[in-house]
């Protein structure tokens, strides 16, 4: 993807600051990883410009193909694989030999490798960079290992931590970084950016709603084959008990979608505008008691949604619960 204009603007702003560690914070889908990577590109670029990296030099190319000797990326192994970053030889061998699954948290072994990396001499002579994302996936041991390096950083290494749940980070880590709250882009430039990435305008508006106004999440929905029409029709479909409406969803995605429906119905009840759906897409009326009970049930489901239950049966149960809740208003009428 090309760099979004709101990411480019924030990149210019941060490059004008001086320091050794930055913390990018905000809700998911606002581009923390994209901005962190742009900072790293600019820091290490052979021909940097005020606006950022040149995109053409050997350093920029090495980052693009994930082979830069002066870049250390700390991520859960699941995210490393998804974003194309190579694992350590030991970790890759263990996963290939099926001794374990890719980790969903940042492992302490990887952090120790990063500490060693920070002590080494720069290979290309423009310093080194450590990118941590999502930073909240560090456990206590991993976070404390990073803290020691942040307290006494080597002279030529810079850190950028990107988080979607900054409250989960140690206060001592937050205090040693320059904090930057991610900009929430306006709807018009978001739609224009989505159109530039091949998302039809008729689809983009609904997908942007589905993503809660987060354009990168909307782009991922489009890439996954989700359609705006199927999203806008979802509330009334689950109100009918139509399980096919969530075909292709994982249980976690269904819980998320149902929570968004419930949120919007609550909003309408108190006179606010819905966020994830157009008002005309929502079923009704629904009693406040039924909404409250349904929401509590969805919160319980969210806690165990990653458990290897039978996915098909779970989807049927979730849609059945939605059907009951969304038809409460009809039963409540005299």
**pLDDT tens digit string along 50-96?**
889 999 999 999 999 999 999 999 999 999 999 999 998 999 999 99
**pLDDT tens digit string along 104-124?**
999 988 998 998 898 888 988
Q: Using CA atoms, how far apart are residues 153 and 146, in angstroms rounded to an integer?
A: 10
* Rounded mean pLDDT, 313-328: 92
What is the reported pTM?
A: 0.84
303, burial (CB in 10 Å: exposed 0-12, middle 13-18, buried 19+): exposed
**pLDDT value at residue 311:** 83
Residue in this structure with the two tokens 């030991």, named with its chain if needed: 90
Tokens standing for 323? 């059907």
Per-domain residue ranges for the chain? 5-181, 185-228, 233-332
**pLDDT value at residue 333:** 46
**pLDDT tens digit string along 183-237?**
999 999 999 999 998 898 888 999 999 999 999 889 889 988 889 999 999 999 9
**pLDDT tens digit string along 299-310?**
999 988 877 678
Q: Using CA atoms, how far apart are residues 71 and 131, in angstroms rounded to an integer?
A: 8
**pLDDT value at residue 330:** 55
Residue in this structure with the two tokens 């029409």, named with its chain if needed: 229
Half-sphere exposure of 295 toward its Cβ, with a 13 Å CA cutoff?
Answer: 14
Q: Is residue 147 over pLDDT 60?
A: yes
DSSP at 120: S
Q: Using CA atoms, how far apart are residues 74 and 234, in angstroms rounded to an integer?
A: 37
Q: Using CA atoms, how far apart are residues 63 and 167, in angstroms rounded to an integer?
A: 30
| 3-state secondary structure at position 73 | strand
**Strands across the sheet with 21-25, in order?**
71-74, 128-132, 157-163, 21-25, 178-181
Q: Is domain 5-181 classified as CATH 3.10.129.10?
A: no
**pLDDT value at residue 306:** 78
Q: Average pLDDT of the chain?
A: 91
Q: Using CA atoms, how far apart are residues 91 and 110, in angstroms rounded to an integer?
A: 9
DSSP at 5: H
């Amino acid at each position: 993807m090309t760099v979004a204009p709101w990411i480019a603007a924030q990149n210019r702003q941060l490059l004008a600051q001086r320091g050794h560690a930055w913390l990018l914070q905000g809700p998911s889908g606002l581009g923390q990883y994209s901005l962190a990577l742009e900072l790293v590109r600019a820091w290490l670029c052979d021909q940097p410009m005020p606006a950022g990296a040149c995109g053409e030099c050997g350093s920029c190319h090495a980052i693009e193909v994930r082979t830069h000797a002066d870049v250390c990326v700390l991520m859960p192994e699941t995210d490393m694989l998804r974003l194309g970053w190579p694992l350590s030889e030991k970790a890759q061998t263990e996963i290939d030999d099926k001794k374990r699954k890719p980790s969903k948290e940042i492992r302490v072994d990887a952090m120790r490798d990063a500490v060693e990396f920070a002590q080494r001499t720069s290979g290309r002579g423009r310093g080194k960079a450590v990118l941590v994302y999502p930073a909240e996936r560090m456990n206590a041991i991993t976070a404390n290992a990073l803290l020691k390096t942040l307290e006494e950083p080597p002279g030529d290494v810079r850190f950028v931590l990107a988080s979607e749940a900054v409250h989960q980070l140690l206060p001592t880590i937050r205090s040693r970084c320059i904090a930057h709250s991610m900009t929430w882009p306006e709807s018009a430039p978001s739609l224009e950016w989505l159109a530039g990435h091949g998302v039809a305008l008729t689809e983009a508006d609904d997908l942007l709603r589905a993503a809660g106004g987060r354009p990168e999440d909307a782009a991922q929905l489009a890439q996954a084959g989700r359609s705006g029409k199927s999203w806008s029709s979802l509330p009334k479909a689950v109100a009918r008990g139509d399980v096919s409406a969530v075909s292709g969803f994982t249980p976690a995605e269904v819980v998320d979608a149902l929570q968004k429906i419930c949120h919007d119905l609550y909003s309408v009840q108190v006179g606010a505008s819905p966020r994830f759906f157009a008002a005309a897409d929502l079923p009704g009326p629904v009693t406040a008691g039924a909404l409250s009970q349904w929401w509590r049930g969805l919160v319980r489901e969210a806690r165990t949604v990653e458990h290897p239950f039978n996915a098909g049966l779970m989807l049927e149960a979730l849609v059945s619960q939605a059907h009951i809740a969304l038809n409460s208003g009809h039963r409540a009428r005299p």
